């Protein structure tokens, strides 16, 4: 029996994932979206992948501009996650009015206060269903391990509980 999209989504909601904002710049304009479909590919050379819906506003700018950053959000950045997910209304460059940061090696926008940032040059894109899997070569990394991660699980944001030592 084939798996329905609803059944698949119900199963995936049980997978806890870190929350990221994928950001890019194309023709001088920033674009970004909230994503949980992010994964390391290799350490040598350092590469990661992001899965972006082809209807997302940032999809074509990533494909055409060939740069993106992955900003791993910290526990205090729920509002920023909602903003880039489109839950708070702003689109396009207006999403960057909060959380704006700097630019690193590629020139992709980087957000302040992220737990980790991966600045990437696009290596390839592979269409898969409704999404494109973008593989990026990591050109720069920033980290702040003192910040707690923001997690997405069952349609809600959450925090990682501290385990006893």
Task: Say what the pTM is.
Answer: 0.93
84 near 33, Cβ under 8 Å?
yes
Model pLDDT for residues 43-72, shown as the tens digit of each residue: 999 999 999 999 999 999 999 999 999 999
DSSP class of residue 105 equals S
Q: What is the CATH number of the domain that holds 54?
A: 2.30.110.10
Each residue's pLDDT tens digit, 142-160: 999 999 999 999 988 888 7
Residues 6+ apart with CB under 8 A from 141: 46, 116, 117, 118, 119
Domain contains 11:
no
Asked, for residue 163, whether it belongs to a domain, the answer is: no
Residue among 57, 68, 55 nearest 123 (CA): 68
Place of tokens 């999209």: 5
Residue 10 lies in a domain: no
Q: Which tokens is 164 given?
A: 């006893």
Count of domains observed in the chain: 1
Q: Is residue 125 included in any domain, yes or no?
A: yes
Q: Quick check: is 152 in a domain?
A: yes
Is residue 4 domain-resident?
no
16 phi, psi to nearest 5 deg = -70, 135
Q: Are strands 116-128 and 67-72 parallel, antiparallel or unpaired?
A: antiparallel
């Amino acid at each position: 029996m084939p798996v329905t999209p609803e059944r698949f989504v119900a199963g995936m909601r049980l997978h806890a994932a870190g929350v990221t904002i994928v950001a890019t710049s194309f023709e001088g304009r920033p674009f970004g979206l909230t994503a949980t479909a992010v994964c390391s590919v290799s350490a040598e050379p350092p590469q990661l992948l992001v899965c972006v819906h082809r209807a997302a506003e940032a999809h074509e700018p990533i494909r055409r501009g060939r740069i993106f950053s992955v900003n791993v959000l910290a526990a205090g950045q729920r509002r920023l996650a909602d903003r880039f997910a489109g839950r708070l209304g702003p689109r396009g460059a207006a999403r960057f009015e909060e959380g704006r940061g700097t630019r690193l090696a590629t020139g992709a926008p980087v957000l302040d206060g992220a737990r980790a940032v991966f600045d990437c040059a696009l290596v390839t894109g592979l269409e898969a269903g409704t999404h494109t899997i973008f593989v990026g070569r990591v050109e720069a990394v920033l980290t702040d391990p003192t910040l707690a991660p923001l997690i997405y699980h069952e349609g809600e944001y959450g925090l990682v509980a501290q385990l006893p030592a």
